[in-house]
Amino acid sequence: MGIGRVFLLLFLLVWVTEGLTQPKFFNVMDYGAVGGGRTDNSKAFLKAWSDACQWNGKSRVVVPQGTFKLYPVIFSGPCNGPIAFVIRGTLKATTDPSSFSAHSWINFRYVDELTVSGGGTLDGQGASAWHLNNCRSNPQCQALPISMSFDFVTNAIVQRVKSYDSKNAHFKVFGCHNMDFRKIRISAPADSPNTDGIKIGNSYRIRIARSRIATGDDCVAIVEGSKKIHVSKVFCGPGHGISIGSLGGYANEDDVVGVVVKNCTFLGTSNGVRIKTWASPYASKASNFTFQDIFMDDVLNPITIDQEYCPNPPCFQQTSSSSVQISDITYKNIWGRSSSEVAVSLVCSKSRPCKNVVLENINLAHSNPPGRSSSVCLHAIGATHGSQTPPPCL
């Protein structure tokens, strides 16, 4: 075979290989999307997604600079290859209450190898709907839509996305496996109801890192069935802190196992790191948690286990003790200022006391007025190591 023919074959091989590895772009403008924030672009976005999902190879749905109004959409898989949703502009939610029947505004389902990125913004326009939230007084309330939900998504990355003023939670993760959230920016007023930053349930190996969350509810909420959750370098405030639970609210809940919260900062939050369970007859386990290298400034309840959680009495009447077994919890190198006198509160279940709770190098002084802080323990079994402020009650 001549040298020229060999070079030609090599060129063709490289050309074909690059064609298979380079992504194909699907710009929503090519599907009729209109900027300006007034026209509903749902059909254009869904068509762009459908074509990208069916492409045999890497694909990218691109939302360019501009403001695009969007009614609730569901982006479903499985897709034929890795797919990215690139938001460069602003997606603006509708304020039409008739569309709030959907549980989510933007929903990704059954997708493998998904990336959501681009530096763009989700504008949930929550201020138009927060007054409709009556869930504290109405058990049959209609939940407002979550800004972006992921259901049964695997091997995914969500990075460099901003979310403002969600009507409900900003991001929800359910039934997912192996997801990374990086450099996320979340913002809603401190008094906005139920606006959790990132809520995780029934999911495995979820990581949140290098993000800033300011909202009206939990910065991160980890609920039943969550396993191997890692939260690091998150700035939380305002908000209700990073919470595990509430747990024990339903029968047959899956256990929560393996949560790590490290290198985080809490500023002016109502809670720091919190575990909360209902005093109910529904049994499950919550175990193997580490809260480490955390700074808190002006936090009302820095370290909390609350197994009598009842935000709106009356709650469960069948029992006065939680049936959730909490065990193997480590608090290490946590320092700063508590805005309440009680900086450490470990209120555990009478029927299932907390087991193997470890406090190591805790320094949480009372900030206003400056002075000695205190700790409260109830049905908690464990040990302390290193320096302890407040004086430990274990």
What residues are annotated to the active site? 240
**d(Cα 188, Cα 185) in Å, to the nearest integer?**
10
**d(Cα 118, Cα 161) in Å, to the nearest integer?**
7
- CA 209, distance to chain mean position in Å, is 11
What 8-state DSSP symbol labels residue 103?
S
Type of residue at 23: P
Four-residue CA torsion sign, 185, 190, 191, 194? positive
Which residues are 172's β-sheet partners? 149, 199
**d(Cα 274, Cα 241) in Å, to the nearest integer?**
7
Distances (CA, A) of 146 to 105, 131, 161, 233, 364: 6, 16, 15, 24, 35
Type of residue at 228: K
Best CA proximity match to 234, nearest among 176, 182, 179: 182
**d(Cα 293, Cα 291) in Å, to the nearest integer?**
7
Secondary structure string (H, E, C) spanning 107-122: EEECCECEEEECCCEE
